[in-house]
A and B are shown apart, each in its own frame.
Chain A
Amino acid sequence: MNKSLRRLSFPYLLWILIFTVVPLLLVAFFALTAYDSNGSLYFTLDGFKNVFGGDTVAFSFLGLSVQLPLYINVFIRSLLIAMVCTLLCLLLGYPAAWIMAKMEIEHRRGSNILLFLLVMPMWMNALLRTYAWLALLEPKGIVNNFLGLFGLGPVQFLYNDFGIGLGMVYNYLPFMVLPIYSVLVKISPSLLEAAADLGADPRRVMLKVVLPMSRPGILSGINMVLMPAMTTFLIPDLLGGGRYLLIGNAIERQYMVSRDYTTGSALSIVLLIFVLLSMQIVARNTDPDADEGGLVA
């Protein structure tokens, strides 16, 4: 039984090998090699030197300004935007997930339609959804036309932090709501009743019972939003008017425009290590909870 089951996983392993492991090795290979003028391959660390060295760009944050290497600058900026986006997703997504879960717990119905509405936009391609925002937010777009009725605007929504942030929050919100919802919906109503019986007001129930129990959901939501938000290049490309360099764009540019595979791959590797490390941190924070929260699992 066990053996035949294992055999079933073979195609998937093969899939992973060909389309995940081999490309990763290729990226690592590209990152450490370059062609000289004769067209022969040689080992080099130039890619990594380019990532951590090169031109410096002023980085300003909260009134502070420091000169940082170009890619470090881009990296930090990507991380900041991704963090803000994740925080907004959490602030918007948690109440939504809670409302949906409550409907499910208390009435055993009603949440389906909300869930459906949340997931429905994801049936469309992300590119199309982002293009739709372009049409909405343009200076002569629908939103500005509407504002114009009241004598407001036109407001420049696009090609700045606001436009990119909005595009990201919109695109990644479901990835925050769904994991939180799936955890919340499993919380037994009896626990909430017990807390109330013991004298906790609704706010206390929320803070002391619901929130701690939903931690795994929050963490996996953060994981699912932070990483794609940090590495996206489609959204800044479209909503940033192509003049916005986040780490995803920087890598894309190295491959598609500069044709410098060495630096592009080195950047990818650095990003990958960063992503793996932060996932590790999230995972470490999740584990003890999984042990405690018997009801959640």
Chain B
Amino acid sequence: MKKQVKWLGPLLAAAILLLPLAGCQSSGKRQKVYVYNWGEYISDSDDSFTFYGQTYQLSDVRKDFEAAYPQYQLEYQTFDDNEKMYAKLDTQSYDVIIPSEYMVTRLIREDKLQKLDYSQLTNVEQYMDPRLKEIRYSEDDTINQEILDYAVPYFYCTVGLIYNQEVLGTIDSTDPQDVWSVLFDQTYNGQIGMYNSMRESIGVALNYLGYSLNSVDADQLEAAKTLLIKQRKEVQPIVGVDELKDKYVSGELVAGVAWSGDHTVVQQRLEAAGEDPDVMQYVLPEGSNISVDMMCIPKNAQNVEGALAFINYMYDTEVALKNAVYVGYSSPQTEVLKQLPEVLTSNVNYYPDETLLKTLEVYESTDEIDKKYDEIWQVYLAN
């Protein structure tokens, strides 16, 4: 009896794994387009949405895509981690994937992506924000020049300081030393929020100390490590990801590291609670992080035409606007910028101007960086 039960698990798992394959073979009239994106990263509700005082009507753009392209059927899956997505690429073929820029760099290096046929990406050609060409996507010059041949920006976001203006006053400076200093101030013991992630934490420490986010210098890394351990002991930051947002809204936290998209959400929640959204401000220091999630087509894609149609559709003004309102991150589509609330698009912290943009860094991922940062993080965790 017991033995039987033990076999049941693997059998069931095998059956479930084989299920999508069975679906593949019995292709009807509509071709499938397999899209693999971050969770909660596409407009999927029919609500109307108030965003900084303006009301937008949303819709499920995945259904809209199928309506606009009746020949395609969308198979939409989500991931919550670049690495997990990467691990699945070998066993399953996707037509469009939307990883972050460092993962795109890695995929290009490993020859796992195909070049995009821009003649079929008319919307992208027409509407892509020229700012996105200024970003330094990779330390590797060849890849940096080529990356847009392989990948189209979907959304981008920055890492800055979210802070309570009533408590801290307005922070005018964009000098990282001025901006981040509150995070290491013992006065705010237990009132500081930090993300539960390695690169964001070490990155902020390096940026505060005036070093590159991708430093591999032993002394600089040691200084960053010491600073973080000291912060953990003396400031006792509250750590999390999604739970932090509510703590900024409730006033429990006065400042913290935040992705620009999260700040928008905090302001919306404040507004929904009938409070002044401007209490929580966001400032992007020079030399901080920018990350870009990019749409690309893997080499083993089955339906390249469908993939290109999907990518192009995401740059349709109406669709991109719905996504931008729903997701809250910075949109790379120029027409969308004209239709979003001006308070948002004119904010250099969300849409950095060229000077600020040039100082921002992506998180590089090389074996050396990965190893060294991981060691620091391990020691930090053990303290």
Contacts and interface: CB of A to CB of B under 8 A. Distances in A.
B252 A70 contact: no
B378 interface: yes
Contacts, number: 46
A177 B246 CA distance: 40
A66 interface: no
Nearest to A54: B375
A139 B381 CA distance: 23
A44 interface: no
Interface stretch (A86-94, A97-105, A194-202, A241-249): A241-249
Interface residues of A, number: 24
A258 B377 CA distance: 10
A140 interface: yes
Interface string A248-291: 01100100011000000000000000000000000000000000
Interface in B243-265: 243, 246-247, 250, 252
B382 A243 contact: no
Nearest to A68: B382
Interface in A194-247: 241-245
Contact of A242 (B196, B250, B375): B196
B382 A74 contact: yes
A138 B375 contact: no
Interface string B46-85: 0000000000000000000000000000000000000000
A181 to B, nearest CB: 22
A164 B276 CA distance: 37
B88 interface: no
B382 A12 contact: no
Give the interface SS of chain B, mostly helix, strand, loop or mixed.
helix
A95 B303 CA distance: 65
A140 B247 CA distance: 9
Contact of B374 (A57, A140, A159, A258): A258
B3 A70 contact: no
A243 B381 contact: yes
B246 A140 contact: yes
Contacts of A70: 378-379, 382
Given A241-B239, A241-B240, A253 B383 contact: no
Given A11-B3, A140-B246, A245 B239 contact: no
Contacts of A73: 382
B6 interface: yes
Nearest to A259: B370
A5 B295 CA distance: 60
B133 interface: no
B230 interface: no
Nearest to B190: A156
Interface in B342-383: 370-371, 374-375, 378-379, 381-383
B242 to A, nearest CB: 12
A243 B243 CA distance: 15
A57 B379 contact: yes
A15 B374 contact: no
Given A242-B196, A243-B196, A243-B239, A55 B379 contact: yes
23 contacts: A11-B3, A12-B3, A15-B3, A15-B6, A55-B375, A57-B379, A57-B383, A70-B379, A74-B382, A139-B247, A156-B190, A159-B239, A241-B239, A242-B196, A243-B196, A243-B239, A245-B381, A250-B378, A250-B382, A257-B198, A257-B374, A258-B370, A258-B371
Interface of A: 11-12, 15, 55, 57-58, 70, 73-74, 138-140, 156, 159, 241-245, 249-250, 253, 257-258
Given A55-B378, A70-B382, A243-B239, 14 more contacts: A55-B379, A139-B252, A156-B190, A159-B238, A241-B239, A242-B239, A243-B196, A245-B381, A245-B382, A250-B378, A253-B378, A258-B370, A258-B371, A258-B374
Q: Pick the 4 closest A-B CB pairs, nearest first.
A: A245-B381, A242-B196, A258-B374, A245-B382
